[in-house]
Amino acid sequence: MAAKSSYHHGDLAGELMQHAVRHIAAEGTESLSLRALARAAGVSQSAPYRHFPSKRCLLAALATEGFGRLERQIGTALAGHDDLEARFLAMGTAYVQFAVANPTHYHLMFGAVLGDFSDYDMLVEAATRCFARVTALQEEIVATHRLEADPDQLAGVIWAGVHGTASLLLNMTRPAVAGAREPVPPMLAVQALGEDVDGSLRLMYRSLIGG
């Protein structure tokens, strides 16, 4: 794990990932460069290519790591609750919190940055495991409340609500339109979402189970 010789690094892939995570959190994905990463690791400009055959591959690894982290956060959030509504709120809150705490990472995972995931098996696997956490709970809701609608459709609608909340919060607050001279009417809706995430999610839940 640690540096072994002056020539061989020991764990270059790991250090590159660390620097990359830090960089996209601080500076964004656009400005991420393999060369800068190499410099940060004190290594030649083409050394990273031994571990990540292309920049896209590095981004895929970052996204994979993100899905793993999100899945764990959802897992621990769910662990504390028995009640179904509480579990849904915990899941949704964890989802939204992850997005707000790691905007660029979330963007990398759910935005169209990487295009087709299927080039990277590890990524597909991590994403699937993560999504399964989300939809399993939704199916549980559908089953428990014996809702009439198509279970898949209902799960989709719930997911859309949670994901849409995260996405709007991320892209439509600060930065984005928030810089307009005075608070602009449409943004009040997004602001309300952000100021009471819990309440908004509860509203979705209670509506859909037929309050």
Partner DNA sequence: GGGCTGATGTTGACAGCGAACACATTGGAG
Partner DNA sequence: CTCCAATGTGTTCGCTGTCAACATCAGCCC
Residues that bind DNA (CB under 7 A): 4-10, 12, 32-36, 38, 43-47, 49-51, 53-56
69 is in the binding site of which of a copy of itself, DNA, none (Cβ under 5 to 8 A by kind)?
none
Nearest to 193 by CA among 59, 75, 100: 100
Q: Answer whether 113's CB lies under 8 Å from 120's CB.
A: no
- Closer CB to a copy of itself, residue 8 or residue 181? 181
- C-alpha 81/C-alpha 18 separation (Å) is 33
32 is in the binding site of which of DNA, a copy of itself, none (Cβ under 5 to 8 A by kind)?
DNA
Structure tokens at 156: 């989709």
Query: How many residues bind to a copy of itself according to rule CB under 8 A?
Result: 66
Residue ranges of alpha helices (H) inside the chain are 12-27, 34-40, 55-79, 84-101, 103-110, 121-144, 151-171, 185-195, 197-208
- Closer CB to a copy of itself, residue 40 or residue 113? 113
Q: Is 80 in the site for a copy of itself (CB under 8 A)?
A: no
**Nearest-approach distance from CB 178 to a copy of itself, in angstroms:** 7
- Closer CB to DNA, residue 25 or residue 47? 47
75 is in the binding site of which of DNA, a copy of itself, none (Cβ under 5 to 8 A by kind)?
none
- Closer CB to DNA, residue 7 or residue 179? 7
Q: Is 188 in the site for a copy of itself (CB under 8 A)?
A: yes
DSSP code at position 174: T
What long-range pairs does 36-41 form, CB within 8 A, spacing at least 24? 41/9, 41/12, 41/15, 41/16
Q: Answer whether 108's CB lies under 8 Å from 24's CB.
A: yes
* Sequence-ordered list of residues with C-beta below 8 angstroms from that of 150, at least 6 positions apart, any chain: none
- Closer CB to a copy of itself, residue 9 or residue 106? 106
Q: Which residues bind a copy of itself (CB under 8 A)?
A: 28, 103-104, 107, 110-112, 115-119, 124, 127-128, 131-132, 134-135, 138, 149-150, 152-157, 159-165, 167-168, 170-172, 174-180, 184-193, 196, 199-200, 203-204, 207-208, 210-211
